Structure 1
Amino acid sequence: MRIPIRIKIVLLLLSSCLQAQEKKFNIHTVAFYNFENLFDTINDPTKFDDEWTPKGAQNWTSEKYNQKLINLARVLSEIGNSDNPNAPTFIGGAEIENRMVLEDLIRQPKLKKFDYGIIHFDSPDNRGIDVALLYQKKSFRPITFSAIPLLLYKKEQPLKAIEKDKESDEDLTEVITEKANRVFTRDQLLISGFLENEEIHLIVNHWPSRSGGEKRSSPYREAAGLLNRKIIDSLQGINPKAKIITMGDMNDSPFNKSIKNALQAKANKQEVPEFGLFNPFENKANKGLGTIAFRDSWDIFDQIIFTESLLQKEFSSYQFWKAGIYSPTYLIQQNGAYKGYPLRHSATEVGFSDHFAVYIYLIKEIK
């Protein structure tokens, strides 16, 4: 595969730091974007989508829906263009109502030429929103994919069942755990396949929200992190050198327990052990960068984290190069109380999202 001269120049600058000889590389962009309420206009009685209908609170008409699709397609086609003129090979997405809206999205003029495939499952989320993966068919061949449920419950109440032992007359207390009030949230989407001729695994996430407060809801996201780690461990058990990328809106920062303790993600490459995980977005958070803003405080909820197997110094196979946050001027609110925030939908304007997109590059030397 020939790659544009611009890519060759940028990557030659990279390679000059490693070796004093000319090298050329192939490049792929892996992106994640929270689409923020990508709903169609049709009322689905099985979902809480009444707000996103023509007669709902958002007055969600066909005109607004179509503009939302145009807006999203523009963003998705441009993520990572500073170093790779091709649109992302992989796009993880969140807050998606159904497969139909994704089919409408990839038919947009800005995306149609890239011939994206769709991997999507309906999840049990109360709001009726799902995660999905878009992938360029020319570069990636999916082999297996599944939606792995995250089983959460609001409370666990211990109940004591007391009875007498007939022979000793001794109290026997059995502690029974009653699990009630399941929290229905998004499944974790696992996709395995081949990027060109290399096996790769991707997990797309949208972890439980901070509804009820960060501290109170943290155990839910910690459980999501533990499930994620279990999936990764299983894949590494089959192939210790498996290349695994987990991405999504984690609703937690790189410093929270779900990332640091459950996933055990590291910020420094040198600290990542064998089978460990690297999070390039922790250092970006340390610099004050963000993908979402709340009360004038920035945080990075959207992250792409991956295994040590993508941190090798030799580029004979696809390896991580660098990461970024996509936040061009047109995605930023320019005035009003939310000046500087991501430009989201409002009563007067069909925006983009309340999140910025994140991305990483994978590169491989051309022999």
Structure 2
Amino acid sequence: MRFTLGCLLFIILSFSISAQDTPIGTIAFYNLENLFDTEDDPAIEDEEYLPSGEREWTEERYQAKLENMSRVIADMAYGPDIVGLCEVENRKVVEDLIQTDNLKLKRYQIVHFNSPDARGIDVALIYKQGRFTPFDVRTLRFKDPSDIDFKTRDILWVKGLYNGDTLHVAVNHWPSRRGGKEDKRLIAAEILRKAVDSVQSINPNAKIVLMGDFNDDPSNKSVKKVLMADNKEKKLENGMLYNASGDTFKDGLGTLFYRGAWNLFDQIIISQSLLKDQATNYYYIPNSFKVFAGEYMREAKGQNQGAPFRTFSYGVYQNGYSDHYPSIIFIGKK
């Protein structure tokens, strides 16, 4: 199935809201696909992304990658209030990202921790100063008792003040599908679900946003059964989460094109306390989840027409963007 122009126009332009749903903010997620610097870090496997490495990752290519990634972020609703990121090598590359001409005037700040991932790719959060104020930050470490040597990205959990009320944000990058690993993603889902349960046991009405590259679709067991996230609002029971990405996936659209099919791995999932009928102060505007796929981010022709225009294609450098499209939701004021 090709990502047709009609589909793309639907994704980018079909956000219609009522007069009662004026947006006051946006929250987004973007997999940056291997945002590495050019310096060798002996602690991780970054040899591929060095000037002498397989990718010939020169300073010129690094700066072009920063320019491309920052352009996308800036073009999403003029720069979202909060952006979850994954596949960043370290804090330095995120610092370089927010200091690009596209983003430096937006006053983004950073939350980042180094993860135990062997390749050194981490998750991070950037947020606009004055729009979101973190006051509690921690990581949720992945542990598989049956495979203690397996290492992957931590889940980043940030608690802060947003639009006058507390908001919990979790940034995820679950284990890859390469070589299977469904069991690993189920464990990641259990870890995240326990964190949600812990917060809700103290405050059942806590506002929570879970975002990330889950390496699973909204219909997969890890998301639907373990996380208890569903897109059917009327069927949500106590403690269940609302998957804002679900309807888009049901329509056959996605963020990642692989082997001729679309996946929607880059999801945004919210607590019921952010649904309009239940929320106080601010809320998720109904049907406002969108995949952002600007024309410049897409393959223009060929069998992959409409798919993400990547930095490399079959090992050949093409100065593209990412293999994932970002996702975004809009926030309204009560």
Query: Aligned AA for 1:198?
Result: D
Q: C-alpha deviations, 1:158-217, integer Å up to 9, x for none?
A: xxxxxxxxxxxxxxxxxxxxxx5521000000000100311000000000001213xxx1
Match of 1:348 among 317, 326, 334: 317
Corresponding residue number in structure 2 for 1:52: 49
Distance in 1, matches of 2:21 and 2:62, equals 42
Match of 1:207 among 150, 169, 174: 174
Match of 1:37 among 34, 37, 45: 34
Match of 1:221 among 162, 165, 185: 185
1:164-313 to structure 2, matched below 5 A, reads 180=147, 182-213=149-180, 217-313=181-277
What TM-score do the two structures reach when normalised by structure 1? 0.83
Checking the alignment, whether the CA contact within 8 Å between 1:280 and 1:305 is kept in structure 2 is: yes
Checking the alignment, whether the CA contact within 8 Å between 2:272 and 2:278 is kept in structure 1 is: no
Checking the alignment, whether the CA contact within 8 Å between 1:273 and 1:308 is kept in structure 2 is: no
Corresponding residue number in structure 2 for 1:71: 68
Query: Aligned AA for 2:56?
Result: N
Over the matched positions of the two proteins, sequence identity in percent amounts to: 40
Query: Aligned AA for 2:194?
Result: K
Q: How many residues align?
A: 316
Query: Aligned AA for 1:247?
Result: M
Higher RCO structure (Cα 8 Å, ≥6 apart):
2
Query: Aligned AA for 2:296?
Result: Y
Match of 2:106 among 108, 114, 119: 114
Q: C-alpha deviations, 1:37-82, integer Å up to 9, x for none?
A: 0000001111100000000000000000000000001000111x3x
Corresponding residue number in structure 2 for 1:328: 294
> Whose Rg is larger?
1
Deviates more, 1:334-343 or 1:125-134: 334-343
TM-align CA RMSD: 1.8
Checking the alignment, whether the CA contact within 8 Å between 1:121 and 1:132 is kept in structure 2 is: yes
Checking the alignment, whether the CA contact within 8 Å between 2:290 and 2:327 is kept in structure 1 is: yes
* Structure 2 alignment gaps of length 5 or more: 1-13
Which is strand-richer, 1 or 2?
A: 1
* Structure 1 alignment gaps of length 5 or more: 1-9, 16-22, 157-179
Structure 1 consecutive aligned stretches of length 4 or more whose deviation exceeds 2 Å: 10-13, 23-26, 312-316, 335-340
Distance in 2, matches of 1:209 and 1:11, equals 31
- Judging changes above 3 Å, is the alpha-carbon distance between structure 1 residues 24 and 244 closer, same or farther for their aligned structure 2 residues? closer
1:22-171 to structure 2, matched below 5 A, reads 25=22, 27-79=24-76, 81=77, 86-152=78-144, 156=146
Aligned partner of residue 253 in structure 2, secondary structure: coil
Aligned partner of residue 123 in structure 2, secondary structure: strand
Checking the alignment, whether the CA contact within 8 Å between 1:90 and 1:136 is kept in structure 2 is: yes
What TM-score do the two structures reach when normalised by structure 2? 0.91
Query: Aligned AA for 1:350?
Result: N
Checking the alignment, whether the CA contact within 8 Å between 2:29 and 2:212 is kept in structure 1 is: yes
Match of 1:361 among 327, 330, 334: 330
- Judging changes above 3 Å, is the alpha-carbon distance between structure 1 residues 11 and 262 closer, same or farther for their aligned structure 2 residues? closer
Superposed displacement of residue 149, structure 1? 0.3
Superposed displacement of residue 336, structure 1? 3.9
Checking the alignment, whether the CA contact within 8 Å between 2:113 and 2:122 is kept in structure 1 is: yes
Distance in 2, matches of 1:185 and 1:106, equals 25
Query: Aligned AA for 1:260?
Result: K
Aligned partner of residue 102 in structure 2, secondary structure: helix
Checking the alignment, whether the CA contact within 8 Å between 1:254 and 1:285 is kept in structure 2 is: yes
